[in-house]
Structure 1
Amino acid sequence: MAQGGRGAWSSASRTHALGVGSFGEQRLNILGEGAAVHIRIFQKPPRLVLLNRALALCLLLALTATAALAGRQTSKPKTCINGATTLPYSLEDDIRSAGRAGFEQVEIWSAKLDAYLQNHTVEDLKKLLREAGVTVASICPYSLVTFGDVKPALDAVTRAAHIASKIGCPVLLVCPDAPPPDMPREEAFKKAGREARRYAEAAAKYGVKIAIEPLGMHPFVPGPKEALRIIREANHPALGLMIDTFHYYKSGVPLEDIRSIPTNRILIVHVNGCEDKPPAELNDGHRLYPGEGVIPITDTFRILKQKGYKGALSVEVFRQEYWKRPVDTISREAKHALDATMAKVWQ
């Protein structure tokens, strides 16, 4: 907020004066998006005071609404890269190359995290992230075991949530299992909801959320409708889902289903293209950089923009052709592809 007497205004400020000829002045100050907005109300004869104040209030409200709208239109999701995209490389390589490529965030691959912590501490990891200039969007993947031995998977998620809380990571990503073929579907969703709630409760103790990942043509959770059914059954605020453009494409998820996802339940978005093959033949090895192949990513991006999504857009590509390249090359290519695709929607 600009300081000083009459005439001492910041060059970044906009000043609106109402009225002429005064014996003093009052100010209404608001902080707009990126600039201080000052409204100066000059003291007037009594019959004009209420009118000028009403005009000033209208102007204040208009400027506030304009600033808020501008913020929604210009704010973008965060650029992110998933550790699977650089799978053959170490966690240190992932983080440093992501920073050099200009990514804002990384998703830490859980197996790489385990390997790193064998010879390093969490404090070492925090220092590495600071030096690279990136933050952590999620740690992944973990298993959402609801129809088998839950304890080992739940223990792993609890340990990961503890680490996540120390490095500022808000989300753990979990992949669902499937019920026995003879279990009624209604019973399966209720059981999945009960177990998912246990995961959410364990993570929430550390201020971390759980994101369920629908998987392409999965027998139980192929899309957001099924994930949301589990979330409703669980009824816990620390539980959400993620969007993966590859899995949603393979499962044939319609755009309307994406549009119907509550924004506060979208915890992270994986972005990738894929080869032009029948969905039933697609596997993770057919993924491509964003904007390449047949997935209409920009349609999903437009929905996310309309929803005001501000989380991570993370490039997750399992492609051996890419893995043969230097880690910095992969990260630069991924960042360039993501930027080019985002630019079609977020100006």
Structure 2
Amino acid sequence: MVESMKLGERQFPFKSALNASTLMPFGLRLDQQLRVAAEAGYDGYEIWVRDVEAYVDEGHSLSTLRNEVEALGIAIPNAIAFFRWADRDERVREEALLQAKREMELLAELGCLAVAAPPFGDVEGVTPHEFAQRFAELAKLGAEAGVEPYLEFWGRAARLNTLEQTLEVLRSLEASEAKLLLDPFHLYTGGSKLDSLHEVAGRNIGIVHANDYGATPPRETIADADRLFPGDGVAPLGQLAQLLHQNGYAGYLSLELFMESYGDLGAVEVAKLGLEKLQAAFSLTSL
């Protein structure tokens, strides 16, 4: 798959990925999801750990699936997981690290070398320094398993809900190579400043989720299910694309929607439509 696609006089200087959440209405098994993404023309597919576990529980082999993925010519650049690595409760954190170790080992077997680390759990009052300490523990586990955690902020979280807070955590980390996960929806709902992206080098961005949102519902009440295809809303995606490119990011943009239904469209049709809209919304007029 090509890393850069020209659209008329515009150019898409990123890699494309499809997040498993986008295909949720179709109830597909993990291997079926990957085939849809490959058929639609994506460079990568962002999996959910729960789908990996379900696939294994049904008796399927991850090593066999890994071979199929390689044959399809599609990458698995990241996984979505929910372990309470930053929780206020020490016992909860200990259990979360055990969960993370187990899930990272599964991902490594499949050939997925990164996993999202959002502020899942009770993080009320957790300081940037504490987030940094706990993320360092998680990163150490990841290094042992061969899977890198990407620090993610959630606009609705009690803490780590803005890009600015996340940058504080990164500055508190001794490891300057730590990476974050960006998402336009969370930038919006948390009230982050897009200009803060000037402080983020491309090498410190692990992956970027791609979506849009409308002028309504308002920021205070908009929900995941209200996310739109890129270009169908009011998000400043062109400016975001320009900033990412200026910062040296040339990695994956992963289409992450949570729509309950796409009407009469099938999975491959939705995936192809999403790829077209992603490339159009994040293309640049000049490089």
The normalised TM-score by structure 2 is 0.86
The equivalent residue for 2:4 is none
Partner residue in 2 for 1:309? 249
Rate the CA distance shift 1:145–1:80 in 2: closer, same or farther, 3 A. Answer: same
Aligned pair partner of 1:97 in 36, 42, 53: 36
Q: Which whole-Å CA distance do the structure 2 matches of 1:310 and 1:144 have between them? A: 30
**Corresponding position: 1:84 with 2:27:** no
Aligned to 1:276: 215
Aligned residues of 2:153 and 2:166 also touching (Cα < 8 A): yes
Cα deviations by residue, 1:270-295 (Å, 9 ceiling, x for unpaired): 01011222100111000011111111
Q: What is the CA distance between 1:238 and its match in structure 2?
A: 5.9
Supply the AA of the counterpart residue of 2:16.
Answer: T
Once the two structures are superposed, residues 312-335 of structure 1 have per-residue CA deviations (whole angstroms, 9 ceiling, x without a partner) of 100000011238742112211111
Name the counterpart of 2:5.
none
Give 1 or 2 for the bigger CA radius of gyration: 1
Higher strand share: 1
Output the TM-score relative to the length of structure 1: 0.72
Between 108-117 and 237-246, the greater mean CA deviation after superposition: 237-246
Q: Which amino acid aligns with 2:277?
A: A
Match runs of 1:155-304 below 5 Å: 155-177=98-120, 183=125, 188-237=127-176, 239-277=178-216, 278-304=218-244
Aligned residues of 2:211 and 2:230 also touching (Cα < 8 A): yes
Gap regions ≥5 residues in structure 2: 1-9
Q: Say how many residue pairs are matched.
A: 271
Equivalents in 2 of 1:103, 1:79: separation in Å? 5
C-alpha spacing 1:276/1:90, structure 2 compared with 1 (3 Å): farther
Q: How does 1:122-137 map to 2 (within 5 A)?
A: 122-137=62-77
CA distance in 1, matches of 2:213, 2:173: 33
- Does the C-alpha gap of structure 1 residues 306 and 141 become closer, same or farther in structure 2, counting only changes over 3 Å? same
Q: Which structure exhibits the higher relative contact order, with contacts defined as CA atoms closer than 8 Å and separated by 6 or more residues?
A: 2
Q: Is the 8 A contact 2:22 2:255 kept in 1?
A: yes
Q: How do 1:66-77 and structure 2 match up within 5 A? A: 76-77=13-14
Contact 1:302/1:345 (8 A) holds in 2: no
1:160, distance to aligned residue in structure 2 (A)? 2.7
Question: Which sections of structure 1, spanning at least 5 residues, go unmatched?
Answer: 1-72
1:239 is displaced (CA, Å) by 3.1
| CA shift in 2, pair 1:109/1:345, >3 Å | farther
CA distance in 1, matches of 2:232, 2:211: 8
Q: Residues 231-276 of structure 1: CA distance to partner in whole angstroms, max 9, x if unpaired? A: 3334235632111011112222222112211322211000101122
Contact kept in structure 2, 1:210 and 1:238, CA below 8 Å: no
Output the CA distance in 2 between the equivalents of 1:214 and 1:324: 34
